[in-house]
Structure 1
């Protein structure tokens, strides 16, 4: 079952937008040493820029989902790409810390567009028989953007300086918007505001709130491993930074491979809750093994690689669960609401894991990551049970 020509075109343009969104998310950290010296600020002030980005994105993602359903996902996506590009171009041209703060606000608002708009477009434009693979390729494009961002920013800074690098990454936004402009101009608007407001109670259903919590658990667990595992291995087991980063790289790389495989799985089952629960249960057990049991470098790399593959494998099924929870014509709003869970986890998690390391509890990072995965398993199973009850009721 291959994608039709039109599906491939839409999937390419939307995945390109998702790629750019992840490059923008990670555009600033590689430049922090250069920006610190240029602006005469500390890492605390630079960290505040990232916090501001996440707070703005968290506060606006759900409202942006309603906006997507009202004015059209393609228009919203083009607007997000242009606004995100403008944010970094302004930061480069202003050349000041105030410019970075302004960029954080604009880029955070732009970032709130991508998930609701992307999934609304793909869910409507791709045939049901392979929408899972479409979601997996879209997610993989984001992983690829995250992987490319540091090298792109450092290479651009070497060629053009820090300010030039910010302008260069900003120009990616308009470039990615070009394939979407014609369709965006002719896109029809959704139902009137009153109708959208009337649908809000349906969007904030128990299933959607459950999925939001599920996304929080994913963000908390993945943030623990992605940002703090290397430090926890060094503190708890005396593992060198080189070997710790080898294990983390295996986890990240195999997560991306798992996402691609997960698309095939998602297209071949309707029991997406069971897929998510099984994958997370096994991934959590492997994280406990890799984090709490001392072992050689090769076994640790293998264990973390397997955990990453299983974590990635469930991502398309996760997206299918959200899609199934969306009322007709309100996919953007639902994806906007549940994606807020990523921002919540991104704000809450780091202080928890940092506190554990500061107080000599490195094992707590891995135990906490596995624990939050366990909660995600429970949520997925509960959601699967609710689905089975609805199906049985509809059959009567």
Structure 2
């Protein structure tokens, strides 16, 4: 599989530009994913709906996001990465603007669906661009920078929304509108810069890397390519396993980030400003931990990093669920619970890259993102309903239990990957 990639000497110049543009896109798309959690209590009052209903709205975005992953993966791998990136940024921005103007809960749902249609394309577009723009020896670092920017995107909305809504003449709607407008501007800048400043060898798809076609054969039809892509995914147990791990891990992290503000305000009595600051701090700390996680994955291998990060998540979430800690300590635990899972992201991405042929990078990362988005879709309505039916403590204890399930699952996956000849340490050697 590795023979299909360019060697380090063949990688075109422009790495820094591509990493910068793609990382900026990651930040913008992640801002769209967490627009609602900082204002859930406000939205519940304004639209006269329950937390469970708002969980359904967040789940609707995640459902659409999930359904669109593989089509975007096909578009990026077989057609045009620049189109994929520009389309996802534009649709996500339009969705944010719809949310800003939503007069009813039904329009809020529409805005979330459009956001889902947009952000679905960012991973399938980003990872092929990063893979072809970076040398093997630097790829893990590029993934870390990409992840760092994504966490900054997660951190921005709580701070921006709180700061803007603090002005007597402004509300959350103005904050959403500002974020959507900036996203539209960035979409235009990113597409123009990619077209004018980046080598076409990086921008165009890898559809020409068709090693299965006999010499002289005409290019395969869309149907042939779709069937070949499905066969490739179905025959890659390592990728499918990582997709399952991503589902479980995402359920944990979205459970924490969706309701930790509610836990800190209603359970621990903290004011909303402090609670939102804790949520933003979790994303900022997580951004730094992504960079540390990339270095750790290079040094000790992905397996220990994946296992250790989710053991720590489980410990901090159990502490929150116990209500045995003082409010300010709970805020610190919330920061840790929402951030230490980020240590695992470069390790997961290195394994996925190591297991991918050059023409399958977009589709394989789409599979992993499908797992992430299913977890995103499941966590808000399930844990929102559990909070309303059983209370905050049982709901967060359940989140911690799912974190332990992620530990058991990733341990099994890493052992099987080792047995297949792509070691937990060796995968990093090939995929960084």
Question: Please, what TM-score do these two structures have when normalized by structure 2?
Answer: 0.75
Deviation at 1:115, TM superposition (A): 0.8
Q: 1:149 to 1:250 in 2, by over 3 A?
A: closer
Greater Cα offset, 96-105 or 381-390: 96-105
Map 1:217-256 → 2, pairs under 5 A:
217-232=248-263, 238-241=268-271, 248=279, 250-256=281-287
Deviation at 1:357, TM superposition (A): 2.2
Deviation readout 1:68-95 (Å, 9 max, x if unpaired)? 1111323311222233344456777x87
- The aligned residue for residue 177 of structure 1 is 191
Map 1:1-396 → 2, pairs under 5 A:
6-27=14-35, 42-43=48-49, 50-88=58-96, 103-152=111-160, 155=164, 158=170, 162=174, 165=178, 166-167=180-181, 169-182=183-196, 183=198, 187-189=203-205, 190-191=207-208, 192=220, 193=222, 194-204=224-234, 205-232=236-263, 238-241=268-271, 248=279, 250-269=281-300, 271-292=301-322, 294-297=324-327, 299-391=329-421
Alignment partners' CA distance in 1, 2:319 and 2:262:
17
Would you tell me which structure has more helix in proportion to its own residues? Answer: 1
Alignment partners' CA distance in 2, 1:91 and 1:247:
24
Alignment partners' CA distance in 2, 1:167 and 1:19:
14
Q: Would you say the 8 A contact 2:282–2:334 is kept in 1?
A: yes
Deviation readout 1:255-300 (Å, 9 max, x if unpaired)? 222112112223334x212320122123312322343261234544
Gaps of 5+ in 1: none
Q: 1:291 to 1:51 in 2, by over 3 A?
A: closer
Q: Would you say the 8 A contact 2:158–2:276 is kept in 1?
A: no
Q: Would you say the 8 A contact 2:124–2:366 is kept in 1?
A: yes
Alignment partners' CA distance in 2, 1:71 and 1:7:
21
Q: 1:254 to 1:201 in 2, by over 3 A?
A: same
Greater Cα offset, 340-349 or 160-169: 160-169
Deviation readout 1:83-142 (Å, 9 max, x if unpaired)? 3344456777x8766876654444322211101111111122212222222112111211
Deviation at 1:370, TM superposition (A): 1.9
Deviation at 1:216, TM superposition (A): 1.3
Q: Give the match's secondary structure for 1:294.
A: coil
Alignment partners' CA distance in 1, 2:406 and 2:276:
26
Alignment partners' CA distance in 2, 1:33 and 1:305:
20
Deviation at 1:366, TM superposition (A): 2.8
Deviation readout 1:287-331 (Å, 9 max, x if unpaired)? 223432612345445544444453221111121122223233101
Alignment partners' CA distance in 1, 2:107 and 2:339:
39
Q: Would you say the 8 A contact 1:230–1:248 is kept in 2?
A: yes
Alignment partners' CA distance in 2, 1:352 and 1:288:
18
What RMSD over aligned residues (CA atoms) do the two structures have, in Å?
3.8
Q: Would you say the 8 A contact 2:319–2:325 is kept in 1?
A: no
Q: 1:305 to 1:334 in 2, by over 3 A?
A: same
Q: Would you say the 8 A contact 2:14–2:199 is kept in 1?
A: no
